[in-house]
Amino acid sequence: MEYEKIWKKTLNPNEQVEYEFSVGKKYRMFFATLGCLGGMVLLFTPGYYVGILVAAISVFYFWFYQKWANAYAFTNKRIVAYRGWLSTDLISIDYDKITDVTVEEPILDKLLTHTGNLIVNTAGVGFPELKQNQKFEHIENPYEAKKKLDEIRSNIKNK
């Protein structure tokens, strides 16, 4: 498990991770590279240090921060979304509260980074900020994640 340190501090003792994921590697690499290229262009301007700063921020944000600030897991009890790095939020969605699951693959995400979004809707949520927290954006293989979620939910119902 890649995010074992996070799950150790957030999961209950009798809870185990069935599937974990984060923002897709190709998405992060694409935008980190784009930021570095933009930084390289700025190196040839009088304020060349801005180019170095743009490249450094792009690499940090897309390569490091996006991966570690967006850790998601399907456990044997619930969905857990751990967001943030220095300041964090933990969002938990019980499987019995899920009303429907949607997969989105915007054309640019699909073609350029092979990623998509998994949207989990829950019963009784009326606040826009909560709905947004249930969208897992730019993940690799969103259909695979949905299949895994459906499988876990089905196994829990059959017990």
- pLDDT of amino acid 126: 56
CA distance 72 to 63: 17
* 64 occurs within a structural domain: yes
pLDDT category at 124 given cuts 50, 70, 90 is low
Task: Answer yes or no: are the C-beta atoms of 19 and 148 closer than 8 Å.
Answer: yes
* 9 occurs within a structural domain: no
- Which CATH number fits the domain that encloses residue 59? 2.30.29
CB atoms inside a 10 Å sphere around CB 56: 13
* 4 occurs within a structural domain: no
pLDDT category at 133 given cuts 50, 70, 90 is very low
What is the helix (H) or strand (E) element at residue 55, kind and residue range? Answer: helix 48-58
CA distance 37 to 33: 6
Residue 59, domain extent:
17-158
pLDDT digits (tens, 9 = 90+) for 28-64: 999 999 999 999 998 888 888 898 999 999 999 998 9
Please list the residues that pair with 19 across neighbouring strands. 74
